[in-house]
């Protein structure tokens, strides 16, 4: 049942993104009076189709894309020179048709994110705060590079960072790549070279150096008759550490307690400005320890109005676009690992794991933005590649021969094929039983 739901969600997410993209091409073609022969979602074989006027509307069996086929789209098809054919139109008109697919995806990302933001978003309170190191994990890359609590991270790999969100994203992009981190320590600037490591199993290779903000989880509820109540824990207590080990986030405390069923533990807490130590023994719940407290992190909830949601969506999409472009540049310069790329299998998994409709819309907004920007790249085969070729023809003041265009498209096809092989390989390595069959990993 879970697999079926994942497939349905995947088809829905991808179907909407592809439909919006191809709809952009279709509407633009109609606007400049180009005859559209076919509008299809999914690749052949066609399983359902209906004809309306000159256009056949179809659904293909393979839901991994779609296309709009226009009359006279390429010289190989034997253009008749009719005024309603693609190649009979001016370069400006053809540009409009090509650009509208990516533009529609960018607009969809903007609209979906605005809808999500209008519903309200909860995030860690520390994320928008300056990245002042509160704790350095023992044995971490940061510890080995002599990064200390109290250091203010100023720049990562030459990129200025203002908040924890900026810093963690900049570090995460460069897993297993040595980077320079600029710090402010006691009013003086200093630099450290550090190589972010990848921790745990993740679909995306995301680097961490072991620096954490100066935050701690709070007790939000205490169950009656629980080990927590017997130990004297109260709502509002701040948990600083467990058995002498600092605790930064609630998930760390939950994991530590779960590993200690029926074992005495010592909690360092802050209550009313006073540090205290409390002893407790988690009860056994199955194979895990249970203390009987509700624990949470400091969060802020953003609930913008309609106009604010639109403005915030524009701002966030611009920021995310900059991040995507940095990632693409990093891939070209080998500063970013290709393991950060995801293909259809990983997208299907993310769609299936989305807990609600808002989470699904958030995923769709992110994918639509990526799809729009990637299609604008000047790689032949992509929309941006066709626009690039037209621009070169404009500069040369002549159309290239079919043979030259074929070579350009072949080069673009090789690039896209290499990219497809990479993302599919990445997807397969994220499936544990398949990864076990890869002796080189």
Strand partners, 241: 246, 268
Residues contacting residue 375 through CB under 8 Å, at least 6 positions apart: 21, 101, 102, 105, 382, 383, 384
**DSSP-assigned letters across all residues of 47-65:** EEEEEETTEEEEEEEEEEE
Residues contacting residue 357 through CB under 8 Å, at least 6 positions apart: none
CB contact burial 403-439 (16+ within 10 A = b; e otherwise)? eebeebbeebeeebeebeeebeebbeebeeeeeeeee
The CA-based angle 158-163-167, given to 5 degrees, is: 45
- Please name which of 346, 376, 386 lies closest in space to residue 363, comparing C-alpha atoms: 346
Question: Helices 2-31 and 91-119: crossing angle, nearest 10°?
Answer: 140
- Please name which of 346, 343, 342, 337 lies closest in space to residue 197, comparing C-alpha atoms: 337
Annotated active-site residue 245? The verdict is: no
Catalytic pick among 22, 77, 245, 335: 22
Q: How far apart are CA 7 and CA 14, in angstroms?
A: 10
Q: How far apart are CA 378 and CA 382, in angstroms?
A: 7
Question: What does the chain come to in residues?
Answer: 441
- CA atoms lying within 13 Å on the CB side of residue 21: 29
Q: DSSP character for 210?
A: S
Catalytic residues: 22
């Amino acid at each position: 049942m879970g697999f079926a739901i994942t497939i349905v969600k995947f088809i829905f997410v991808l179907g909407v993104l592809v439909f919006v993209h191809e709809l952009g091409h279709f509407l633009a073609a109609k606007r400049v009076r180009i005859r559209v022969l076919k509008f299809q979602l999914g690749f052949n074989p066609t399983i359902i189709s209906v004809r309306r006027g000159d256009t056949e509307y179809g659904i293909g069996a393979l839901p991994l894309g779609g296309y709009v086929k226009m009359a006279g789209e390429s010289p190989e098809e034997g253009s008749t020179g009719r005024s309603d054919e693609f190649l009979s139109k001016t370069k400006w008109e053809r540009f409009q048709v090509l650009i509208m697919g990516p533009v529609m995806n960018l607009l969809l990302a903007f609209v979906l994110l605005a809808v999500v933001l209008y519903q309200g978003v909860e995030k860690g309170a520390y994320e928008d705060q300056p990245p002042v190191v509160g704790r350095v994990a023992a044995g971490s890359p940061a510890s080995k590079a002599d990064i200390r609590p109290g250091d203010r991270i100023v720049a990562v790999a030459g990129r200025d960072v203002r908040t924890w969100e900026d810093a963690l994203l900049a570090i995460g992009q460069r897993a297993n790549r040595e980077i320079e981190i600029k710090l402010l320590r006691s009013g003086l600037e200093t630099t450290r070279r550090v190589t972010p490591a990848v921790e745990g199993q993740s679909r995306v290779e995301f680097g961490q150096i072991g620096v954490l903000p100066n935050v701690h989880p709070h007790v939000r509820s205490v169950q009656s008759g629980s080990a927590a109540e017997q130990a004297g824990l109260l709502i509002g207590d701040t948990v600083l550490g467990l058995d002498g080990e600092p605790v930064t986030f609630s998930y760390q405390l939950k994991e530590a307690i779960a590993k200690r069923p029926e074992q005495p533990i010592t909690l360092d807490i802050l209550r009313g400005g006073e540090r205290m130590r409390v002893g407790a023994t988690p009860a056994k719940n199955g194979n895990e320890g249970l203390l009987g407290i509700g624990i949470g992190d400091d969060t802020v909830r953003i609930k913008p109005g309609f106009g604010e949601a639109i403005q915030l969506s524009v701002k966030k999409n611009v920021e995310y676009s900059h991040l995507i472009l940095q990632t693409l540049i990093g891939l070209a310069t080998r500063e970013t690992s290709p393991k950060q790329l995801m293909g259809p299998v990983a997208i299907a998994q993310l769609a299936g794991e989305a807990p609600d409709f808002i989470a699904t819309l958030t995923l769709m907004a992110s994918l639509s933005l990526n799809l729009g920007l990637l299609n604008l790249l000047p790689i032949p085969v992509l929309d941006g590649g066709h626009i690039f070729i037209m621009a070169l023809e404009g500069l040369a003041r002549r159309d290239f021969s079919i043979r030259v265009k074929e070579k350009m498209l072949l080069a673009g096809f090789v690039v896209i094929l290499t990219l497809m092989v990479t993302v599919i390989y990445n997807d397969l390595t994220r499936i544990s039983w398949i990864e076990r069959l890869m002796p080189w990993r």
